[in-house]
Every structure is written in structure tokens, then in C-alpha cells.
Structure 1
């Protein structure tokens, strides 16, 4: 985490936004996968 000079700030903000986007994509992908797995399980066991 950089609290440093103004020169770093734009890049740091960009990186932070990128991390958030990546985390959201990962979370969304995982949620979709879990949903699909749950659906498959239901089909298999009923």
C-alpha cells in the first residue's frame, strides 16, 4: 500500500481499480460455477 507521492497516486488508483475488477470477475465466476454445480447435483440426485 503506497501512501506516497502524488506521482504514484494515479497508477496506484488504477491498480486498485484493476484488483477490484479482477476480484469481482473471480467471485462472479465462482458463483456461476457453484450455481451450475448445485443444479447438476439436483438433477443427479432427483
Structure 2
């Protein structure tokens, strides 16, 4: 596989993205589908 160079900013962004994904999965396991879906919408709107 070809290696690609990432800037520090890109690495930070990807790390945040992964963390958000993990948090979202945790939230879904504790909340109903409906409220989790609303939370995701709110996150997307706030970005």
C-alpha cells in the first residue's frame, strides 16, 4: 500500500473524526435510536 504524507492539521482532523465516531457508537448503545439520530443531526448542524 502506498504511504501518503499528512499535514499535522489533517492528522488532528482525522483523530477527532475517529473519536467522534467512537463517542457516537457509545451514545447509541445507551440511548434509543430516535434520540441518537437527533444527536447526530445536532452534531452535523453545529459543524
What residue is the counterpart of 2:25 in the other structure? 30
Question: TM-score, normalised on structure 1?
Answer: 0.52
* Ranges in structure 2 where 5+ consecutive residues have no aligned partner: 33-47
Say what the alpha-carbon RMSD is for the aligned residues. 1.6
What residue is the counterpart of 1:14 in the other structure? 9
Q: Describe the superposition over 1:5-44 as per-residue Cα deviations: whole angstroms up to 9, x where unpaired.
A: xxxxxx611000000001111110110001125xxxxxxx
* Ranges in structure 1 where 5+ consecutive residues have no aligned partner: 3-10, 38-46
- Give the length in aligned residue pairs: 29
After the TM superposition, list the runs of 4 or more consecutive aligned residues in structure 1 that deviate by more than 4 angstroms: none
Structure number with greater Rg is: 1
Question: TM-score, normalised on structure 2?
Answer: 0.51
The one of the two structures with greater contact order (alpha-carbon pairs below 8 A, sep at least 6) is 2
